[in-house]
A and B are shown apart, each in its own frame.
Chain A
């Protein structure tokens, strides 16, 4: 592409279509204006482009730039007229829903799941030869689910043929119909043992729209997810998007392929991690689902917890976490029956917002548990693999679900990014920082940020056409840095010293001694940084090993420098009286809710 100075980008979500304008100024690319409008995939409109035009019109009104000529996007840009490219992501209509299969659940089954999740899909079920279900149960399950697509994997190259073909036969017997377009065949991707291709083709070639691709697990010790992910993206456009109302028109308008929203977020996170040479964890908590992304040592993983969210799925957070886990974060006493009714009322009226402070505190307590559970699921799946290739020892292979084996090691995490209503729109930024720290429990030195308007999907697609523009906007306009969390890992008795520190701040040197159970908050603005010397007590670790000194540079944010001596995992008092005192003290230090409320 010749020049890209002006970009209009949209993300068509389930409820809202968000448009942003990116313009090249003297000092580089900036996100300048944004607009939004209700998504119009459902009746009565049934045409996604209506919402897109409405959102772009809002950008036109705010920016004074003419982007539309009737229903056409003007390209290229000339002065205050037109844009150089239009790009879009989409999660409307429930996103991309897939069923995956492998021969052994914890081996090729997990690889197939990681492959689909990384491509931006929601995995509805993982079928495997050893999943404990009887054949007719598997067939019934496939028939009920009506996925958009099936990824059939299993068997290393030269390995089992019969088990793989057996799974293909189940898919064939179920004869599932796709969600959209009842007259179309269901797209099935085969990425298993290459020697079983002919047999799989014989079973499914007629009944389904079958695509053959490279084996996602050619040998037991190596994954090869890239080619299958690419096929998923292609089929998403050809089969799923093209059937959704108005998408054919939208696909004609865009200058780059439309990506599934989570797939685009994954793109930008990988780009940032690579360019800055850091490890990143990102989370997007919505009303129905929570997505977690991570890039550690350049290995990208994504999971989606389909039933953990803050409105539609709020009741499921209670069901999965249990009442006690939620109540431990609530800074006042509340009757169980009352809390249960409040949660259910939010579920049945999902668009309401907390008017009272106590209501807000309850929602933020639930958010901590939703985030924690989603992260636990992520760590379990993000185990030793590489997007393209990884060599493992055989002993590792049989130890895949062990948390120790997780790629996501909190001590190595550099940046934790949160987005989604409860984090991005918390009345105080300190509340977002507290929720992130309590849920993810970062160790050592970790920078915290929120994506204020969820711009990452747009930047993800942009990174595929102009990486420079995407990273510049990401650094300048996308993130609001909250500050840095310094947390020694370990446990001890309340009141014992766990860390001594001295930090050179713009306001002068600060020295302190942190006791177990304490939080310290130091002022350090977003554009400021300070050199810090950390001296943990014996058995406590801030990244250099137990008792080892660490010197590093910490960067600030709208909240500041948070030094967290509450232990890992965070130690919460068992007696109710002590717990309430603890919560009050932590909230006061962080100035979470203001005053003594």
Chain B
């Protein structure tokens, strides 16, 4: 294979970011191409088919399944209201009449003469998709949604929990390795950068003071388990109802936020920021993200995603993503072609890295990720 190249997470102060905002089902797009949209603006809406209520009338009416269609007061396709008679027997003596009322408002979808089952479809549920970031509609997907483009800072995290939210960015620490234990009332309604570790205590304090998002270098798995109430088995997140959104930039354990990431966040302090904790590692990788739109910024310097376009070269900046050098940043100093044995005994492709301290080390190529400059 041509390259052993691990694309890194995107961390850039000037990016053109496109977000596809699509409905789960076909619906209506309510903005036009070229429109400027705000993060909290509806861009598309639809009605999800209502929930289904299945009720078997055989026992309730005391009849055979084949008799059920005859006793129905509403036919397939008819609308019914909750509490309205749905079916009734037709005895000779009215006194023995049995009536079944509809348990829900909706439409009669089917009536079975084999099972005696009646399926009611409740009223549709409206669903709206918001723009999520301040920007411009650059593409319309007929009946599905839009693509919103924005320019500004873009940071992909490594793991997150909680859904999309937005608010001003607040730096609660002065350095990327700081360990924070308290948050003040000034964090209310804000997305707060908290340093090397997002602890469970800090999350609880953040909820109390009304912060809407936390950004940190690392998170301990035992805190995550306590937060969610279960052991997260497969990394598919974003729907957790935990009262705020957490984005971790480096990994599990206590790890300082990378300097570059921290500097970008610092430069964006006070600006309106959109974040999402949604993470999916398998089948269509999705990473959590921090987007700080800056329409007034220097547009000439906007970067497009160039990650696919080059391999790994001497001098490239990288981060080691596994022990024993986990989290350390350095530059590629050699790329030996031959397989080499590492301490575990495995024969693997390696590279030599020179860390910022000048120290050199050999690491498997699979254990590094590139940092864009």
Cross-chain contact B281 with A342 (CB below 8 angstroms) = no
> What is the bound-complex CA distance between A337 and B222, given in angstroms?
6
Expressed in whole angstroms, the minimum distance between the Cβ of B285 and any Cβ of chain A is 10
Check B345 against A349 for contact (C-beta < 8 Å): no
B71 is an interface residue with CB less than 8 A from chain A: no
Q: Tell yes or no: B141 within 8 A of A by CB.
A: no
Give the residue name and chain of the B residue nearest to A337 (CB).
B222
Q: Are B281 and A319 in contact (CB under 8 A)?
A: no
What per-residue 1/0 map shows which CB atoms of A442-472 lie under 8 Å from chain B?
Answer: 0000000000000000000000000000000
Within 8 A of B (CB), among A331-384: 336-338, 340-345, 347-357, 359-360
Within 8 A of B (CB), among A293-320: 307, 312-313, 315-316, 318-320
**Is A140's beta carbon under 8 Å from chain B?**
yes
Set A140, A320, A340, A355: member contacting B343, Cβ < 8 A: A355
Q: Is the CB of B221 within 8 A of A312?
A: no
B299 interface hit (Cβ, 8 Å): no
* Contact residues on B (Cβ < 8 Å of other chain), bracket: 35 or more
Which of chain A's residues have a CB closer than 8 A to the CB of B281?
312, 347-348, 350
Known: A162-B115, A349-B321. A319 touches B346 (CB 8 A): no
- B221 and A344: CB pair below 8 A? yes
Q: Does B322 contact A (CB under 8 A)?
A: yes
A594 touches B345 (CB 8 A): yes
Which stretch in B47-55, B172-180, B187-195 binds the other chain? B47-55
Comparing A71-79, A165-173, A510-518, the segment that makes contact with chain B is A165-173
| Interfacial chain A residues near B232, Cβ < 8 Å | 315, 319, 344
Given contacts A162-B114, A352-B367, contact A313 B1 (CB under 8 A): no
B17 within 8 Å of A (CB atoms): no
Q: Contact residue range for chain A? A: 35 or more
B52 in contact with A345 (CB, 8 Å): no
Q: Residues of B contacting A161 with CB < 8 Å?
A: 114
Interface residues of B in 268-282 (CB under 8 A from A): 279, 281-282
Rounded to whole angstroms, the CA-CA distance of A356 and B121 in the bound complex is 58
**Contacts known (A139-B54, A312-B282, A355-B342); A348 close to B235, Cβ less than 8 A:** yes
Annotate B16-56 by CB proximity to A: 1 below 8 A, 0 otherwise: 00000000000000000000000000000000000111100
With A170-B54, A348-B252, A593-B345 already in contact, the answer to whether A341 and B233 are too (CB < 8 A) is no
Contact A352 B322 (CB under 8 A): yes
* A220 close to B (CB within 8 Å): no
Q: Given A353-B364, A354-B344, are A288 and B282 also a contact pair (CB < 8 Å)?
A: yes
Which residues of A from 126 to 149 have beta carbons under 8 Å from B?
A: 135-136, 139-140
B 91-121 to A, binary, CB cutoff 8 A, 1 in contact else 0: 0000000000000000001101011110101
Task: Report A-chain residues with C-beta under 8 Å of the C-beta of B234.
Answer: 307, 312-313, 315-316
CB of B341, distance to nearest CB on chain A (Å): 8
8 Å CB contact of B366 from A37, A162, A353: A353
Q: Chain B residues near A359 (CB, 8 Å)? A: 322-323, 344
**With A348-B252, A355-B342 in contact, do A136 and B367 touch (Cβ < 8 Å)?**
no
Contacts A165-B112, A173-B119 hold; do A351 and B54 have CB atoms under 8 A apart? no
| Given A315-B233, A319-B232, A348-B159 contact (CB < 8 Å) | yes
User: In the complex, which residues of chain A have a beta carbon less than 8 angstroms from the beta carbon of B283?
Assistant: 14, 94
- What residues of A have a CB within 8 angstroms of the CB of B343 in the complex? 355-357
| B81 within 8 Å of A (CB atoms) | no
In the complex, what distance in Å separates the CA atom of A594 from the CA atom of B344?
Answer: 10
Chain A residues contacting B346 (CB-CB under 8 Å) are 353-354, 360, 425, 427
On whether the beta carbons of B345 and A427 are closer than 8 Å, the reply is yes
Q: Contacts A315-B233, A319-B233, A353-B364 hold; do A337 and B345 have CB atoms under 8 A apart?
A: no
Set of chain B residues within 8 Å of A340, measured between Cβ atoms:
220-222, 225, 252
Closest to B283 in A: A94
Residue of A nearest to B121 (CB): A173
Interfacial chain A residues near B233, Cβ < 8 Å: 307, 313, 315-316, 318-320
Interfacial residues of chain B within 319-373, with CB under 8 A of chain A in the complex: 321-324, 326, 342-348, 363-364, 366-367, 369
Question: In the complex, which residue of chain B has the Cβ closest to the Cβ of A363?
Answer: B344
A157 at interface by CB-CB < 8 Å: no
Kindly list chain B residues whose C-beta atoms are within 8 Å of the C-beta of A37. 1
Q: Is A38 an interface residue (CB 8 A)?
A: yes
Residues of B within 8 A of A185 (CB): none
Chain A residues with CB under 8 Å of B54's CB are 135-136, 139, 169-170, 173
Closest-by-CB residue of B relative to A336 is B222
Q: In chain A, what residue has the closest Cβ to B54?
A: A135
| B 249-303 contacts with A by CB, 8 A | 251-253, 279, 281-284
Closest 10 A/B residue pairs (Cβ): A316-B233, A427-B345, A135-B54, A319-B231, A340-B221, A360-B344, A341-B252, A344-B252, A341-B253, A319-B233
Q: Could you give 29 example pairs across A and B, Cβ below 8 Å?
A: A135-B54, A162-B116, A163-B115, A307-B234, A312-B281, A315-B231, A315-B232, A316-B233, A318-B231, A341-B252, A342-B323, A344-B251, A345-B253, A345-B322, A348-B235, A348-B252, A349-B251, A349-B369, A353-B348, A353-B366, A354-B322, A355-B322, A355-B343, A355-B344, A357-B344, A357-B345, A359-B344, A360-B346, A427-B345
Chain B contact residues, CB within 8 Å of chain A: 1, 6, 51-54, 65, 109-110, 112, 114-117, 119, 121, 158-159, 220-222, 224-225, 230-235, 251-253, 279, 281-284, 321-324, 326, 342-348, 363-364, 366-367, 369
